[in-house]
């Protein structure tokens, strides 16, 4: 099968019209149009949150947001990237905190100002229920926030639309770290292994291996048993 | 979106799925694997590599795209006088991925004055993209020694023993460090860390944080960097290292990426943590790597006199997205195979055991799509084989994919593909730079005093082939080791007069060889005007 000629569409980057092939992501459409991205591109795979983009489609009054690397450019789109968002972040020492509501409110006093408007949930490119996450934070349900916010890529689009000026993604990471450090059961087998290593119990076996020739190692490798 | 022939092939895959459930494809015998690799892995093709003509590795074969950079002239003109240093620190860390973050936290904790500079934002890096997991011998049936054997076997027995020893011995310590930092690993109710196999592991030692393992590690480290007020500058790539008269590294020339203005930082020790080279698109392959993976660190260190090891071994990840086009080259995590998905050709037949090492699976897929002509072809002409994801739901129960692979599911869903019901089309993608700068067990460059290297930029740890889960591990192990050693030892060094004399020398050398028309480091790939 031969690749077919791509169809061309018109998009408006910061108000200027450009013709680009249909089917490109917004990121690749920007590049096709001649932009060399500096800000606004990181992982290019939906993981880093660098590429938040605001857009509107012709004939629709609503502003939409999305990740430029994960959203296909549509005909008639008006778009611009958000290169930087000056969000407020609390400073803390994890080891001195208590995993409770008081900690969340002390570090983020604006937390109870959430009006439950759901703007955050509507814009989340990860389709997280951000409003529910904030409701849980306001109840001090730290485990719940940790669990529900886990897939957050901290792109900041929720905060960009929040009328109460919450910074949802920083509240969420605080909750995840509190949960993991204080509320999740510790991995005892890991701590035991760490002690073994620190007491030198693993040294001899490792040094023995390190002294083997590649051929001897290969023999051992080929004969090793594999957990099923 | 699918062509009729793709749909026909998908029907075949689905028709024999329950039959295949019983079918175990045999593992490759060692000799079979060897001949498969020689015939089909891009590393062994005659037209993908050439010997580099200049520098410490002159005569060694490496991918053309890297050799082009090593034979380029500098992006900095060494004859133009440098601005005076804008600051003087104990430890300069170049690169804001996992290795750089781990190094910076560790060095600062030990009292060093630290500065971290990075090309994009802090955490815009390969680290944030890792989904699958991190290896560590944390369980009772496992040990650092068993882990050691797996690393060596995977690497083709050419790894540096002292590096593998450091890697496997520190692994549980690094995992514990992350636990204490509040990194949210997936666990049983009693706290036992969940762990599974990865390609080439003999124990289930792949620990994970759902399928955002790298993201969870990176955001935790970044959060802690911010808490610890580690000084950092974003959009500030390094262009060249600075050396004194004795060849000791004493800092770097940086650039404000936005204004273009140069900047000099003087440092007692410099840690390169600039990651890999995926964005060089070796052999024309698409890549899984982040935007800034352009081998800058290799170029700078090479000019400073560092040797590169195993740069002729490139890791292609067997399962890169072949369809849809918008996701081309993106990673389909190995976990999809770990938890049950088979690889099948256009006829719906298995052709390789799914958990062979990556090089072997990649070679088998390339063979299937080229010599055997049994790939399915997309509307843009890209061939691929099916990764039978619906199989996971058959084996592990409905809902497994959305629970265990939410990132994967979401990415496909964005482009209208439901991987719980449809198999996904994949083809190998450029994934990892197996080799890198020669280091010792403290992360010190063997050739350049004052220079440390950690993470994907370093070589020798993984030999010729890294196993999944050992890279997230090595960035922590060697990031921390380099940070510690630099903070404890390098700060006592007597700094000499810094210059770019070595860069001028390299420029002359490439010019004498009739090379050097292009400039490097390139900092970013050039996609302008391309579709
Ligand atoms: C999609 C994907 C999935 C992966 N999955 C896994 C997995 O499941 N398990 C595993 O163990 N490994 C995995 N890996 C590999 C692993 O993630 C990386 O090898 C590792 O994270 C590299 O870390 P690093 O800190 O060395 O480099 P990076 O994380 O890439 O960080 C390098 C940093 O240096 C910056 N930089 C580059 N050049 C310059 C310059 N000139 N000046 C200043 N800064 C610069 C970069 O922008 C970046 O921020 C995966 C990799 C990818 C791409
Ligand atoms: S570039 Fe990382 S999410 Fe788009």
Question: pLDDT by residue (tens digit) across A77-97?
Answer: 999 999 888 899 999 999 999
Query: Which residues sit with their C-beta closer than 6 Å to ligand 1?
Result: B 94-100, 117-120, 124-127, 129-134, 213-214, 237-238, 273-275, 288-290, 292-293, 296, 331, 432, 455-457, 468-472, 475, 521
Determine the pLDDT at residue B165: 97
When pLDDT is averaged across residues B221-250 and rounded to a whole number, the result is 97
Question: Cβ of A181 and B223 within 8 Å?
Answer: no
Catalytic residue check, B410: no
Measured distance CA(B419)–CA(B108) in Å, rounded: 45
CA-based nearest residue to A129, from A102, A160, A156, A150 = A150
- Which residue's C-alpha comes closest to atom 6 of ligand 1? B130
Give me chain A's average pLDDT, please.
Answer: 94
Sorting pLDDT into bands at 50, 70 and 90, what band is A5?
low
| Max CA distance (Å), chain B | 72
CA-based nearest residue to B441, from B450, B454, B431 = B454
Condensed to tens digits (0 to 9), the pLDDT of residues B62-88 reads: 999 999 999 999 999 999 999 999 999
Atom of ligand 1 nearest to the CA of B123: 49
Ligand nearest to the CA of A154: 2
Please check whether residue B405 is in contact with residue B211, taking contact to mean a CB–CB distance below 8 angstroms. yes
- The DSSP code sequence of B170-228 is HHHHHHHHHHHTT----B-TTSPBPEE--TT-SS--EE-STT-HHHHHHHHHHHHHHHT
- Which residue's C-alpha comes closest to atom 3 of ligand 2? A46
User: Which chain A residues are Cβ-neighbours of B384 within 8 angstroms?
Assistant: none
Give me chain B's average pLDDT, please.
Answer: 95
Please check whether residue B124 is in contact with residue B291, taking contact to mean a CB–CB distance below 8 angstroms. yes
B interface test, pick of A29, A48, A81 with most B CB neighbours within 10 Å: A48
CA-based nearest residue to A148, from A167, A117, A126 = A126
CA of A161 to the centre of ligand 2 (A): 19
Measured distance CA(B500)–CA(B81) in Å, rounded: 10
Kindly report the nearest CA distance between residue A24 and chain B, in angstroms.
6
3-state secondary structure chain A: CCCCCCCEEEEEECCEEEEEECCCEHHHHHHHCCCCCCCCCCCCCCCCCCCEEEEEECCCCCCEEEECCCCECCCCEEEEECCCCCCCCCCCCHHHCCCCHHHHHHHCCCHHHCCCCCHHHHHCCCCCCHHHHHHHHHHCCHHHHHHHCCCCCCCCHHHHHCCCCCCHHHHHHHHHHHHHHHHCCCCHHHHHHHHHHHCCCCHHHHHHHHCCCHHHHHHHHHHCCCCC
A31, A178, A189: residue with CB nearest B139: A189
Measured distance CA(A40)–CA(A25) in Å, rounded: 13
A interface test, pick of B31, B119, B121, B219 with most A CB neighbours within 10 Å: B219
Condensed to tens digits (0 to 9), the pLDDT of residues B355-408 reads: 888 889 999 999 999 999 999 999 888 999 999 999 999 999 999 999 888 888
Determine the pLDDT at residue B379: 87
Determine the pLDDT at residue A103: 98
When pLDDT is averaged across residues A12-27 and rounded to a whole number, the result is 95
B138, B148, B150: residue with CB nearest A189: B138
Measured distance CA(B212)–CA(B472) in Å, rounded: 12
When pLDDT is averaged across residues B37-58 and rounded to a whole number, the result is 94
Determine the pLDDT at residue B406: 87
User: Which chain A residues are Cβ-neighbours of B526 within 8 angstroms?
Assistant: 36
pTM assigned to the model: 0.96
* From B41, B337, B431, B464, active-site residue: B337
Measured distance CA(B506)–CA(B515) in Å, rounded: 11
Determine the pLDDT at residue B243: 97
Please check whether residue B340 is in contact with residue B491, taking contact to mean a CB–CB distance below 8 angstroms. no
Does residue B491 register a pLDDT over 80?
A: no
Question: Cβ of A180 and B410 within 8 Å?
Answer: no
A16-20, A110-114, A182-186, B491-495: least confident range: B491-495
Question: Cβ of A177 and B187 within 8 Å?
Answer: no
Angle between helix B501-512 and helix B296-303 axes, rounded to 10 deg: 90
Measured distance CA(B479)–CA(B457) in Å, rounded: 11
Kindly report the nearest CA distance between residue B338 and chain A, in angstroms.
12
Count CB neighbours of B530 within 10 A. Answer: 10
Distance of CA B149 to the CA centre of its chain: 21
Name, in order, each residue with C-beta under 8 angstroms of B164's C-beta and a sequence gap of 6 or more: A210, B148, B151, B152, B155, B461
Determine the pLDDT at residue A4: 55
CA of B175 to the centre of ligand 1 (A): 18
Catalytic residue check, B337: yes
Question: Residue B324: is the preceding peptide bond cis (ω within 30°)?
Answer: yes
Return the DSSP state at B84: P
Tokens of A212: 């083997």
Determine the pLDDT at residue B282: 95
Kindly report the nearest CA distance between residue A165 and chain B, in angstroms.
20
Give B494 or B94, the one with higher predicted confidence: B94
CA of B332 to the centre of ligand 2 (A): 16
* From B197, B317, B323, B444, active-site residue: B317
């Amino acid at each position: 099968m031969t690749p077919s000629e791509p169809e061309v569409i018109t998009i408006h980057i910061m108000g200027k019209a450009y013709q680009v092939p249909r089917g490109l992501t917004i990121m690749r459409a920007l590049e096709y149009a001649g932009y060399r991205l500096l800000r606004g591109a990181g992982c290019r795979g939906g993981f880093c949150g660098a590429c938040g983009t605001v857009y509107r489609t012709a004939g629709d009054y609503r502003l939409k947001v999305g990740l430029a690397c994960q959203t296909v450019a549509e005909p008639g789109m008006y778009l611009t990237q958000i290169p930087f968002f000056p969000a407020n972040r609390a400073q803390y020492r994890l080891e001195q905190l208590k995993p409770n509501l008081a900690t969340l409110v002390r570090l983020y006093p604006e937390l109870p100002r959430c009006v439950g408007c759901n703007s955050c949930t509507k814009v989340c490119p990860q389709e997280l229920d951000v409003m529910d996450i904030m409701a849980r934070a306001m109840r001090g349900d730290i485990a719940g926030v940790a669990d529900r916010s886990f897939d957050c890529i901290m792109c900041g689009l929720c905060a960009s639309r929040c009328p109460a000026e919450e910074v949802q993604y920083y509240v969420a990471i605080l909750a995840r770290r509190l949960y993991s450090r204080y509320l999740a059961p510790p991995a005892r087998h890991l701590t035991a292994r760490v002690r073994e290593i620190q007491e030198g119990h693993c040294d001899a076996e490792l040094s023995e291996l390190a002294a083997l020739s590649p051929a001897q190692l290969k023999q051992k490798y080929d004969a090793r048993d594999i957990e099923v | 979106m699918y062509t009729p022939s793709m749909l026909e092939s998908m029907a075949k895959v689905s028709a024999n799925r329950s039959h295949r459930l019983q079918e175990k494809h045999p593992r490759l015998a060692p000799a079979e694997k060897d001949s498969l690799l020689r015939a089909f892995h891009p590393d062994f093709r005659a037209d993908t590599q050439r010997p580099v003509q200049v520098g410490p590795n002159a005569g060694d074969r490496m991918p053309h795209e890297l050799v082009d950079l090593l034979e380029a002239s500098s992006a900095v003109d060494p004859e133009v006088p440098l601005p005076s240093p804008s600051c003087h620190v104990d430890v300069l860390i170049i690169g804001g991925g996992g290795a750089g973050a781990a190094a910076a936290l560790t060095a600062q904790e030990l009292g060093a004055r630290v500065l971290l500079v990075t090309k994009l934002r802090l955490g815009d890096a390969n680290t944030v993209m890792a989904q699958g997991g991190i290896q560590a011998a944390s369980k009772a049936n496992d040990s650092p020694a068993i882990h050691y054997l797996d690393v060596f076997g995977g690497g083709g027995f050419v790894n540096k023993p002292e590096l593998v020893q450091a890697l496997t011995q520190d692994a549980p310590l690094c995992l514990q460090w992350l636990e204490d930092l509040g990194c949210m690993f997936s666990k049983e109710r009693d706290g036992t860390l969940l762990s599974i196999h990865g390609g080439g592991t003999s124990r289930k030692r792949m620990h994970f944080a759902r399928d955002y393992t790298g993201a969870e590690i990176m955001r935790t480290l970044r959060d802690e960097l911010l808490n610890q007020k580690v000084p950092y500058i974003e959009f500030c790539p390094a262009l060249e290292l600075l050396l004194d008269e004795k060849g000791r590294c004493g800092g770097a020339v940086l650039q404000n990426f936005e204004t273009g203005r140069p900047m000099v930082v003087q440092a007692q020790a410099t840690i390169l943590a600039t990651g890999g080279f995926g964005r060089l698109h070796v052999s024309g392959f698409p890549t899984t790597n982040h935007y800034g993976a352009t081998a800058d660190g290799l170029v700078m260190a090479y000019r400073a006199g560092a040797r590169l090891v195993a740069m002729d071994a490139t890791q292609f990840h067997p399962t890169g997205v072949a369809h849809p086009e918008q996701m081309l080259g993106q990673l389909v995590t190995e976990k999809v195979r770990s938890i049950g998905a088979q690889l099948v050709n256009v006829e719906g037949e298995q052709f390789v055991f799914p958990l062979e090492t990556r090089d072997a699976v990649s070679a088998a897929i390339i063979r299937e799509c080229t010599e055997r002509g049994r790939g399915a072809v997309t509307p843009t002409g890209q061939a691929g084989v099916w990764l039978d994801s619906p199989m996971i739901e058959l084996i592990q129960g409905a809902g497994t994919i959305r629970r265990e692979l939410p990132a994967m599911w979401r990415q496909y869903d964005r482009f209208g593909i439901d991987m719980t019901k449809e198999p996904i089309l994949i083809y190998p993608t450029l994934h990892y730079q197996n080799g890198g700068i020669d280091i010792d067990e403290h992360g010190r460059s063997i050739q350049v005093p004052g220079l440390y290297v950690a993470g994907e930029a370093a070589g020798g740890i993984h030999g010729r082939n890294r196993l999944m889960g050992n890279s997230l591990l090595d960035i922590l192990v060697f990031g921390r080791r380099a940070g510690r050693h630099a903070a404890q030892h390098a700060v006592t060094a007597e700094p000499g007069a810094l210059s770019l004399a070595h860069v001028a020398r390299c420029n002359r050398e490439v010019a004498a060889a009739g090379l050097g028309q292009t400039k490097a480091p390139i900092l970013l790939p050039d996609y302008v005007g391309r579709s």
